[in-house]
Amino acid sequence: MNSRIIDKATGITRIFCVLFLLLLMMGCEAPLDLEGVAQVSKTPVKRFDRFQSAAKHGETLVVVGFNGTVLVSDNGAKQWQRHELPGALDLIEVVACDDGSFAALDATRRLWVSIDKGNRWDSKNIDTEDAVTTLTCAPDNKLWVGGSFTSIYSTEDKGDTWTSSSLGEDAMFTSIQFVDELYGVASGEFGMLVITSDGGESWEIGPSMPNDFYPEATLFLDHDNGYAVGLNGKILRTIDGGVSWTHEDSGIDAPLYGITMHNEDLYVFGEGGMMLHQKDGQWRQIAHGKPTRSYLRTALSVDNRHLLIAGGAGALFLVATQD
């Protein structure tokens, strides 16, 4: 037989063999299973969530984070409803006002307000080119925003109109709080402490925290007693309204990002899922047993026995507290 004919037949046979093997492989391949992906998409808490702040009014809990994430619960954090605010970027703080409204601060200089327990949110621009960094709601339901260059903004109508002022210092506020209707405190870079005694009509720079301490969070319990936490496990305390500060031994060296009051006890939390409790004048680390793979940044008293803790890598848990 002609060798050219044999070679051609052999080539055709090889092609059919390859096609047959491909058909077998396609027939044996398992169908793509998207059920797991679908289930993950339905869960309100995602592994990539980075929660930054939490607030409570009545039975409603609200937690906010980056990428416009808002979680709302009305049953003690047992179930959550997820919202992703359209156009929102990084929500860095949320507060609850006495009138039942919630307000969240967007790093893109916007204020988001909900008057229906966190279900619907409306945004208002903050007319500034400075960075905005912290938010609080005073007892008279007036909202206050602190930012860079010691700027302070306030609104009495949920963001429709704003009043602004600046102390003219090149420092950024990291915390702002009103202890009562008249007395407020803002803290920030270089240990700066700014105080108002007239409901925010005027602000005065007070004595600085020692060693240019950078407070990640500050909490005043009244006009005199306050705490500040920061890097390297540092906890500072004042008993004279910020005139002087003393260092309290935390026993750790990890960065601390937040502080909260629960049942008249103080709790501090930070990097690596770190959580501390002040007991009998000493700070002790709590083994909360939750699978935190990143930082804890915020905590909220849910009821007499539980704290809600939240932070990076989807950390959102209820922790039973000590009696």
pLDDT above 50 for 262: yes
Q: Which residue has the higher pLDDT, 86 or 25?
A: 86
**Per-residue confidence (pLDDT) for residue 323, from 0 to 100:** 57
Tally of domains in the chain: 1
The beta strand positions in 151-191, using DSSP E, are: 151-155, 163-166, 173-178, 184-188
pLDDT above 50 for 129: yes
**Per-residue confidence (pLDDT) for residue 99, from 0 to 100:** 97
Residues 9-15, mean pLDDT to the nearest whole number: 44
Whether 17 is covered by a domain: the verdict is no
* Cβ neighbours for 126, distance < 8 A, ≥ 6 positions apart: 109, 110, 111, 132, 145, 153, 159, 162
pLDDT above 70 for 29: no
Domain holding 208, by residue range, is 47-320
Whether 89 is covered by a domain: the verdict is yes
95 vs 117: CA distance, rounded Å = 12
- Helix H or strand E segment including 135: strand 132-137
Whether 38 is covered by a domain: the verdict is no
Whether 68 is covered by a domain: the verdict is yes
211 phi/psi in degrees, rounded to 5: 60, 35
**Per-residue confidence (pLDDT) for residue 280, from 0 to 100:** 85
Tokens 């990084």, located at residue? 90
Whether 23 is covered by a domain: the verdict is no
Q: Are 101 and 115 in contact (CB under 8 A)?
A: yes
32 vs 34: CA distance, rounded Å = 6
- Under the banding of pLDDT at 50, 70 and 90, the label for residue 88 is confident
**Per-residue confidence (pLDDT) for residue 42, from 0 to 100:** 60
Domain containing 216 — which CATH number? 2.130.10.10
Whether 15 is covered by a domain: the verdict is no
Whether 220 is covered by a domain: the verdict is yes
Whether 101 is covered by a domain: the verdict is yes
**23-37, 174-188, 217-231, 245-259, range with the lowest pLDDT:** 23-37
Residues 253-274, mean pLDDT to the nearest whole number: 95
pLDDT digits (tens, 9 = 90+) for 32-81: 333 333 333 468 999 999 999 999 999 999 999 999 999 999 999 999 99
